[in-house]
Amino acid sequence: MTELVDEQLMLSYGQGDVKAFTQLYLRHKNSLYRYFLRQCANPQVAEELYQEVWNKLIKARSQYQVSAKFTTWLYRIAHNELIDYYRRTGTQSKWLDADNQDLETAEFADHNSKSDTEKLDQAQQAKQLKECLAQLPREQKEAFLLKHEADFTLKEIAELVVETTENIKSRIRYAVAKLKHCIKYKLETSNER
């Protein structure tokens, strides 16, 4: 049985088909939830923002038109909610310079550290990754999440956050580099103990 695409489901929901919304919700709920969870210090705040995004989508269902991908529309609402939250709470200072090329100033082990011969458990690495992700600058973190949670291309991310594709490419590159260093540093730290 062919699954309906997101846009068709949203249009159906706009016409009153609640089952279509249920399908849409189940399809995207986890990614969107983690998108907020990774970027908010407080899980409760993440839940509030997450719920608000769906509320706005529900309110706008009758006016929905297929002018872009559904996920672009969904995450644009989410992105704006996050920005508004940062402005309300004054947490913009948590940003770091997204285009910072000076990796040595970061709180990670430098690239000259001795190579590690031992492998950590993959589950542990995954846990460390989450911890490292939390330390990333906000814009790099968001770009990374939009790529790995919502499967957006660089161009789509650039359009969503109103940036150039080159900037997004740089942000993701630096995010990945920092994550590598961070994981490696944590690995070395745990080995030394």
Residue 119 within binding range of another protein, rule CB under 8 A: yes
Question: What part of residues 162-191 is at the interface with another protein (CB under 8 A)?
Answer: 176, 179-180, 183-184, 187
Spatial distance between the Cα atoms of 178 and 101, rounded to a whole number of angstroms: 11
Question: In this chain, which of 4, 37, 45, 96 binds another protein, going by CB under 8 A?
Answer: 37
Task: Take residue 131 and report the two structure tokens written for it.
Answer: 């911890």
Please answer whether residues 109 and 181 qualify as being in contact, where contact means their C-beta atoms are separated by less than 8 angstroms: yes
Q: b/e string for 144-180 if b means 16 or more Cβ within 10 A? A: bbbbbbbebebebbbbbbebeeebbebbbebbebbbe
* 8-state DSSP, 107: S
Region from 45-53, 82-90, 93-101, 102-110 binding another protein, contact rule CB under 8 A: 45-53
The span from the CA of 17 to the CA of 157, in Å, is 30
Under the criterion CB under 8 A, does residue 47 sit at the interface with another protein? yes
Least distance (Å) between residue 131 CB and another protein: 10
- Interface ranges with another protein (CB under 8 A): 12-18, 21-22, 25, 29-30, 33-34, 37, 47, 50-51, 54-55, 58-59, 61-62, 115-117, 119, 122-123, 125-127, 129-130, 133, 148-149, 176, 179-180, 183-184, 187
